[in-house]
Amino acid sequence: MGPIRVGLVADPASPTDVARRMTNLTPAGDAARDEWDVEFVSEPFTLGSEDVDTALSRLHARGEAHQWDLVIGVTELPLRGDDGRYLLAAIDPRRRSAVLSLPALGGLRVRTRARRAVRGLISGMSEPDRPDEHRVPLRGRNGRGRVLLGMVLANRPWLLAAGLKSALVAALATGAVATIEPTIWLLAASLSGWRLAAATIASIAVVIAWIVIDGELWDRPDDDSPAARERSRLYNTSTLLTLTIGVVLCYLALYVINLCWALFVLDPAVMGDSLGMSLGYGDLFVLTWFVASAATLGGALGTGLASDDAIRAAAYSKREEERRARLADERA
């Protein structure tokens, strides 16, 4: 008997990055078992508004078109069963198709866990006495939290700075000028710790709101069903968490750069003489804190955000729009 032909269909973006490394999968354990011939294809096959059966049917159709013996779909979308529980995988042995949800794997060692899960799905469907169609729900009470963590890390918030490059450049320029302004020194020295903290929170919140509005990242339910509302809540929560992590990282980078600039060009004694008070190097950290908040706000609102892939990647709703467009093109 020849090798089992396995089709591995991955949604664009993160699933493609994970699945393209699995073409060398082999059966675990018994070397005498049939070999696997894995063929990788990157194309959209899921939509968040569809149920799991629709995705399995589409995978089965792709498998027949390519003459695969088995077909496994890898998606970045969260999957939910009829009972509302989040799923790790859905399997239809009769049609010899299965779909794996990457967010359900959590945020750590995703590639390793995905590889192990795909191998298990292929092995299970290769057995002659395979079970009936079934779902694999997440265990425990933290299923939604695990899915949310996986979604946020799939968005790769640390790459958000690429989409904010024009705002970051403007913020750096604003901070460099503000650091040597005596008026800014006086304002920073007059602010208490809680006011500085409030300024930091406010500047980050305004930037996040501006990105959501400018990029049209807010997802709205397709209908009034509980499933649609839950999906939108999950999408929007992951978007806000992704943006918060990304903007905070940008803020910290801006603070460090401004601090280095302040330590290089400013002398606390000269600053103190100008303001008529005694200042030390510790005051430069306070000054940089205030400048970072003001520069973050001014840099984001003073420049238009670039229409960058890193910005769009922060929202599941935007990537779903791209999947819908590609599927529509294929049907046409």
For residue 72, pLDDT over 90 is answered with: yes
Domain hosting 205: range is 155-331
Whole-prediction pTM: 0.81
Do both 232 and 87 map to the same domain? no
pLDDT digits (tens, 9 = 90+) for 244-279: 998 899 899 889 998 898 888 877 787 777 777 777
Do both 86 and 177 map to the same domain? no
State which of 122, 143, 164 marks the end of a domain. Answer: 143
Higher pLDDT, 116 or 12: 116
For residue 152, pLDDT over 60 is answered with: yes
Do both 164 and 62 map to the same domain? no
Contact between 88 and 136 (Cβ < 8 Å): yes
Mean pLDDT of the chain, nearest integer: 81
Mean pLDDT of 303-326: 60
Higher pLDDT, 50 or 24: 24
Do both 203 and 176 map to the same domain? yes
Nearest to 199 by CA among 286, 282, 311: 286
Do both 289 and 170 map to the same domain? yes
Do both 179 and 257 map to the same domain? yes
Do both 25 and 134 map to the same domain? yes
Q: What is the DSSP string of 194-225?
A: HHHHHHHHHHHHHHHHHHHHHHT-----SSSS
